[in-house]
A and B are shown apart, each in its own frame.
Chain A
Amino acid sequence: MAGYMARRLVQAVPILLGVAVISFGLIYLAPGDPIDRFRTPTIRPEQLEGLVRLYGLDKPLHEQFWSWLSTYVQVWRTEAWGYSFLDGQPVLHKIAERLPATLLLGGTALLVTVAVAIPLGILAAVKQYSWADRLISSLATIGYAIPSFLLGLYLLFFGGVVLGWFPLFGMESFGREGDPVDIAWHLVLPVSSLAVQQIAGWSRYVRASMLEVLHQDFVRTAHAKGLTARRVTFKHALRNALIPIITLIGLTIPSLLAGAAITEAIFSYPGVGQMGVQAVTNRDYPVVLAFVMIGGIGVIIGNLVADIAYAVADPRIKLG
């Protein structure tokens, strides 16, 4: 087990490196260069040259990359990830400020998805072909077809503007910072817009997985042994059906982070995603770079966690 974890960790390193290469390349090739913002009318050409040297812009590409990377990994130093072009704040600080909000949004969406989709999926599977099953499947089909940004837009309009039941932006009301009820109220619309599509997809998956397990031999054996249906369902079938769900969680995390960017933009939610979108608009390259790296790291961690959880949950897996 430890060996498996170690192996997976080691495998993650080249992927992380690849993400770094692509991120660096993206920013490097972007129009403009890091010293553009110093090109005021008063600066002298010699000073610009000095800055070029300071940034090592005259060095060969791979040298620039390695020197950038070696600074970047030193995340304990505040200046390691550079300073925002927009407000001069250390990028690491900006991310640290906003990451909790995004995690709150994504985490809540994930919880809601799990809490709603799994029971729905199980219900649909256990009562296969009943009206409940058909209803749930139809709702899932419709829900899956609505892109989350569209849903977010409509929810904002009808829930916020037309009905006025929910706030139009942000995470907290002025003067009520830190109030959990207030925060929850702000989260309702963005979480819903993220979760609906996930729930739709998940419940179909849960249903399918559950069905597959229910029809397997060992379940019939349990029935034959006289165990009650309920016991069979929850004790045996569910545990096995849930194994693929774990991988699903691992796969959902990155799309929550990324999908959150648009949702955060629509709802003016003060998370990392909104900061990223603003950074692209404002050509705030250090923040853009940081966002891509964060996204990459998030996915890799998510996959790692999913793989490990999968291995833990299913002893049949050969960890070879």
Chain B
Amino acid sequence: MNILALIMGLLAAGIAAAVSERIHEHAPRWISLIAFVVALIYTISAWLGAGSGTEEYARQVFPWIPRFGIQIYLVLDGLSLMLVALTAFLGIVAVVSSWSEISERHGFFQFNILWVMAGVVGVFSAFDLFLFFFFWEVMLIPMYFLIAIWGHENRAYAATKFFLFTQISGLLMLFAILSLVYFNYDATGVMTFDYFELRNTSLDPGVAWWLMLGFFVAFITKLPSVPVHTWLPDAHTQAPTAGSVILAGILLKTGGYGVIRFAVGLFPEASQDFASVGMLLGALSILYGGYMAYSQSDFKRLVAYSSIAHMGFILLGVYAFNEIAMQGAIVTMVAHGFSTAALFMMAGALQQRLHSRELSKMGGLWVLAPRMGAMTLFFVVASVGMPGLGNFVGEFLALLGAFQSHVPLTIAAAIGIVVAAVYGLSLMQRAFQGVPNPDVSEIEDFGAREMAVMILMMIGLVWLGVYPQHVLNLSAPVIASLGVVGL
């Protein structure tokens, strides 16, 4: 598989979409949709085409800036492949969910969506630390534009806050990357940003701890985890639907991916020393996110806080340092991508119809829009953690593994599942059940386009919930290669 071609293709499609607006108003969204469908088919065919036992689906290396030993080094292993496929899929969801929402500047809108996703694919496949940082930032700017231009009433604040949080934590990571490269250069005399080379750097434990912290802060800001989560509710609430779908579905996963691949992968010993802090932050995020979600009256804000809670399971699972928990974290990443994307799509659809995100302006909507009601019920139940659906598998495995390393924190985190049921069902109750709101007499139900995407996501969640082995097989070799499991 040619990853560089995939990234370049998405970038080129972005430019084509921006230009095509001159030809026809609706051309951009078709270009965008086709690009993501092609990307998804391409990725999946690479997966199916590889024999069982394959650990690496693609590897490309080109020189880029030889002065500093920087290469365009792209590798697709199981974890990367799965996340790239998720990216392409959520690209389709994002395009469909904003099909009729955006009323102006279609070309630039699709341009930004395609460029964010190109950056994300790069993040998931870069194995040169400079290249990784490059893509890390490339996905930031278009996302900023999506919020700043097409966002809701308070977009200036939300967009700036999002950018500042990510950028400042990114600077810390850049600092850590360069220091790591320098220490490696000092020891070996070779300047390189190669992930596999840098993993072998012998570091003083104190230094390693600080460098690990630089990466860790950048990644948990993106994830996000308590206490650096405050940008997320604002960004989600203000972003247009497609922006929320991308943000929750895939951008948060880059944080989880970074923790696994870089914070843990580059500094295994330092990360193990840090494990109790990681698990503590995870458990705190689960409880705090759940508590805050329950007290929200804004549909999108509620889902945003629930994301913080779900992301807590990723931290908990990764820092438990055993294979089961790590698998749980990875399954949670994929499952949360589906379930939250669907809920944000729902929030966007409701806002478009009711011109409000306030739960108090909803109520009894099931009667008016039964298809929307049923879909919401399904994804709320999935996100609550109903057995048989993907989120359950992820959270259950994470808790099961975490229980072996730290019992009190795991118990605290498990309480979070109960909290999830409370806010999830309360969301359902307030929006779709109960006394119909007298101000809402008629709303348009989901059409075939929306339903098609929703059903695809349902299939994804059921597949993950009933037979997660596909995903587990993909991630198992990656976890083994980290060399930290079972310690």
Tell me, yes or no, whether A binds B: no
Query: Which positions in A face B, CB cutoff 8 Å?
Result: none
